[in-house]
Amino acid sequence: MRIVSLLPSATELLGVLGLERALVAVSHECDTPASVVGLPHATSSRISVGLSQLEINEVVAAAVRAAEPLYKVDADLIRSLEPDLVVTQGICDVCAVTPETIEASLRGTACRLPAGTEICSLTGTSIEGIFSDLRRLGALTGTSSRAEEAITQARGGLESLQRTSASGGDPRRKLMMLEWIDPAYSPGHWVPEQIEHAGFRSAIGSPGDHSRALSWSEVRAAEPDAIGVICCGYGLTDNLDFARDVGQRAELASWFDGPIVAFDANRYFSRPTLAVVQGAALLAEAFRGDAVDGEGFAQLRR
């Protein structure tokens, strides 16, 4: 089988299924598993490198208003590779190539994929949805048994976390997880689930909600006990810088004196993969009273 993955989460899930060697091209953002680094890139971003969060937000908003794609698809490359399967997603126009972009780029009269090529759009917006996506990939690639083994292991991790959180968490403690800071964005999709599995409450955002722009007055009104910074598309180093920015904001300085913790969002929060289970465990670890910096997160000392 020859597979093209157009988003990092799909590449990670294919790695879980042991299909790294079947990949013939990936997106420009794919970095896990390590074996995919160096494969041809089938996508590129229309967003310039080096923009601030506010500038990125403005570019994205303008593209959405104009119904313009944020990513380019190298249709010639994909057609030349003659893949059996192309994997993309349908849950976020910002994060990856959408099915509409794929159809427009690859199904046109001048650029047609082989008749046998299947396009699989992953749609999971919850932890159960992620499990369902893995099952779909397993069924399409003949690796269903591996998919079920991985799902069973992930469920076990959540059950273990829930038992631990029942004794060490505090369901009254409210976490404000920020998926963007300029402007602020609420946690969406599976992130509120992660918060609940960790034994806490989401200050804003319920399981299945879409991330949305927030005013800092809304953040204050939610009365969070702690803030987590998980800016989408960024790792720990960048999010630690963003967390420092949050801590210095005049909108918070006058009333918030709780912990602010930065996380590796790319690895544990932004992408719909089984790593969200580890992300939930990181929340439990990071927001305990005796927490110290660990792999995947760093707590500001204030």
User: Tokens at residue 253, please?
Assistant: 């300085």
pLDDT tens string 45-76: 877 778 888 888 888 778 777 766 677 888 88
pLDDT of residue 169: 63
Q: How far apart are CA 30 and CA 41, in angstroms?
A: 9
Per-residue CA distances from 127 to 161, 203, 287 (Å):
14, 19, 21
> What sign does the dihedral 251-256-261-264 (CA atoms) show?
negative
pLDDT surpassing 50 at residue 137: yes
pLDDT of residue 59: 82
Q: Which residue has the higher pLDDT, 7 or 3?
A: 3
With a pLDDT cut of 70, the percent of the chain lying above it is 88
Whether domain 3-123 has CATH 3.40.50:
yes
Give the alpha-carbon dihedral of 55, 60, 62, 68, to 10 degrees: 140
pLDDT tens string 197-221: 999 999 999 998 999 999 999 999 9
pLDDT of residue 290: 61
Q: How far apart are CA 284 and CA 254, in angstroms?
A: 27
Q: Can 3-123 and 170-299 be said to share one CATH topology?
A: yes
Give the alpha-carbon dihedral of 24, 30, 31, 37, to 10 degrees: 30
pLDDT of residue 45: 81
What predicted TM-score, i.e. pTM, was given to this entire model? Answer: 0.89
- Topology of the domain comprising 170-299: Rossmann fold (3.40.50)
User: Tokens at residue 15, please?
Assistant: 């790695």
For the chain, the distance separating the N- and C-terminal CA atoms, rounded to the nearest angstrom, is: 53
Q: Which residue has the higher pLDDT, 32 or 104?
A: 32
pLDDT surpassing 80 at residue 276: yes
pLDDT of residue 3: 97
Q: Where are the domains of the chain?
A: 3-123, 170-299
pLDDT of residue 211: 92
